[in-house]
Structure 1
């Protein structure tokens, strides 16, 4: 069922964003007086066709939903009657041709603003940025972060949710500098923590940013409190009960469920001396762990699930919602911020500071589409916005066959006073096809490597 949802969400997302992009070309071309012969969403065999309008434009939905195109009257492709030559694309001024080509990516950015605006109006859900666990020796540990820290601001930017905190940390990390983070600690004091984000290569490697910083976000099960026990498991045999809080293990303070799990897993079929809290009293116990094989390695286990505090979980939920005008302002700001961040990450990819394994292909995009569609409308709108921004930026890259490549040709035409020769265009098209092919191959390779683990 999840695969079907991912496929449907992917088709809806790509179909919508391609339509937006191609409509940008179509709308500006019509305004410039250019005759549009076909507006196609998808490639390959037509599934649906309609001819309409004074120009008898053919509207098509095709079988392969991975793109689209707008076919305009052009003397370079077919003979054009004398009476319609003024409506051919190639007869337009350089300025008009540039406007028509740039309109596709521009439509993607405008759509992102709309999607973000609707997202903020619907409400952006999440959890408050409370630290659940700090990995020893990590960047966060070196910066003084502690469990139960509530992140209030990253530099001067407020962070209402973990998503905003991670986004702001990544943005600051791209600058490769030390970041000041204002937190409210477990005692209620406001303290400034410091993160050294100078190692950009490490931050831009594959994987979630918080993992690389050594921060585990707080969850409803983050406390080291036992929930349901498996009958005949090590915890049940030792006399542990649901509701017991682990205070110490082998003399080591346990402050989170993650640290407790790590301690147990590192000690397969070994005895662990525990101090627990039960009904307000401290008690000493000894438990001998069981073991199982995980990825070819023996790890310890005790047969216990974490306790989930539903009341605390509800209190930790956060939602950011604004009225139409403030949502629009935030939509413009978020679109700008994500566009700049995307460009900066792409530059880091070119310079080798970011891992190419971060490049996602259609399979990963479909998976993200399915996940966000299940989460809700707000998450799906955010997904549509970031993919729309990515499509806009990619199409503006100066690669032949993309919109950016055509814009590059027109800039050359403005400088030299005449169009780029057909020979140069043909060579550029071949180079562009090879470059896009290599990029798609890398994206598919990354997708399959993620699937294979």
Structure 2
């Protein structure tokens, strides 16, 4: 499946699931509140499929799959049969109307918890939060190669993903954060990562790259893919060997080999190159040769080795049993809600670019496809985050959105009478303008971030 087709497919699946749950929340509570539902539509525009149930509700799948709606009997939208007036939405008590409107976002929050629970039960493959290399701020803060990051602030970090998200949150606020680590000797210690020293003009997407923290899985393993003929290692080292040390200096990744070989060549003479071959540890005396590097075209000291190609394999799994996954799912939703609200706050305060906050359908489609390719647990996590985002977005007090209607009903509770139709109409125009502006920004960000760059 091509990336384009895969992206379109997973976007449609994601929107279909999220919209169906959201609208079903409205529908379910409306029916149980005695309101007649005229249509339950997934998508907008001309229906591609439709059926009617015994209660007179039309269920439809429409041509434009970018949302959905539940249309209820309402005297403000047309004539109502006197026999059905009691079933009109506008005739219900304010508390019932609040329940019906709030049910959509609540359905998304319930779905979010369910998806996180399923993700935890299945198990999300990931990488251990092991430090592969430190420089800059990370080195100045006392972090060392081989450290396992146990927690960032008060947030446990069982995998690299959790550690990266916690560090990003602190980096966006330019706040120093305590990092609990477990060293290679098994001892635990707390270091303070001085993120307040990050420059103010860094693109938010590059913040973590400026912390000086490089994860172990980001380093290319020192595994030999090919030994070049007529070079010092020819006939000595073999494909699949993992280089562990050169002249007594440990090799943690492929990037360490060049500098050690160069130093050895400048020193002159031979040295022991240690490798792991299968279950054996072997050492061979080798002398570097100064020759043209086929990759860079420059003269340098070489052994004649090429790196083995391949993607790093996950070495950790975030998993809970079915019972333990229940509180874990609620905790995860709470953490993600806190992060999303903080992100919205940063955007409104100008501390975070809206270009990196509002995503459009192209970005969502590519992300959905990418997560799906990493396995079901990763896709479930993304779907949970999208469901949470949809629930939070709809609760914003913007007319047209559910949150705007809830605001009207809260005002009605306070003043004792409904908001006038003139005020509601004006609010609809304001809300529509805000939504159109938000959609325009989302499409602009899509073009800039995915098509221009």
TM over 0.5: yes
Contact 2:243–2:251 (8 Å) recurs in 1: no
Separation (CA, whole Å) in 2 of partners of 1:200 and 1:82: 67
Q: Return the offset for 1:129.
A: 0.9
Match of 1:126 in 2: 126
Structure 2 counterpart of 1:161? 159
| CA distance in structure 1 between the aligned counterparts of 2:94 and 2:196, rounded to whole angstroms | 44
Cα offsets for 1:158-189 (capped at 9, x unmatched): 32211122233345556654322222334544
Alignment partner, residue 279 of structure 2: none
| Other-structure match for 1:182 | 180
TM-score (norm 2): 0.83
Query: For 2:365, what is the secondary structure of its paired residue?
Result: helix
Which whole-Å CA distance do the structure 2 matches of 1:230 and 1:443 have between them?
A: 50
Provide the C-alpha distance between the structure 1 equivalents of 2:203 and 2:130, rounded to a whole number of angstroms: 24
After superposition, residues 52-91 of structure 1 pair within 5 angstroms as 52-54=53-55, 56-91=56-91
User: Counterparts of 1:188 and 1:58 in 2: how far apart (Å)?
Assistant: 63
| Contact 1:174 1:200 (8 Å CA) reproduced | no
Change (3 A) 1:157 1:350: closer
Q: Does 1:398 align with 2:400?
A: no
**8 Å CA contact 1:204, 1:353 repeated in 2:** no
C-alpha separation between the residues in 1 aligned to 2:439 and 2:295?
Answer: 43
- Shift in CA distance, 257/421, structure 1 to aligned 2, threshold 3 Å: farther
1:49 match: 50
- Deviation string 1:208-247 (CA, Å, 9 cap, x unpaired) is 6632423222228534554336789x9999x997658497
2:417 aligned counterpart, secondary structure: coil
Q: Distance in 1 between matches of 2:287 and 2:28?
A: 75
- The 8 Å contact of residues 152 and 163 in structure 2, kept in 1 or not, is answered as yes
C-alpha distance 248-416 of structure 1, shift in aligned 2 (>3 A): farther
Deviation track 1:370-400 (CA, whole Å, cap 9, x = no partner) reads 1222221111111110000000011111111
Deviation digits for residues 395-414 of structure 1, max 9, x if unmatched? 11111111111111112222
Count of aligned residue pairs for this structure pair: 432
Q: Which runs of 5+ in 2 are unaligned?
A: 275-281
What's the TM-score, normalizing by structure 1?
0.83
Q: How far is the alpha carbon of 1:439 from its aligned partner?
A: 1.5
Distance 1:450 1:372 in 2: 18
State the match for 1:280 in structure 2.
283
Change (3 A) 1:222 1:290: closer
Give the gaps of 5 or more residues in structure 1: none
Alpha-carbon distance in 1 for matches of 2:184, 2:292: 32
| Alpha carbons of structure 1 residues 288 and 155: separation in structure 2 relative to 1, 3 Å | same
RMSD: 3.6
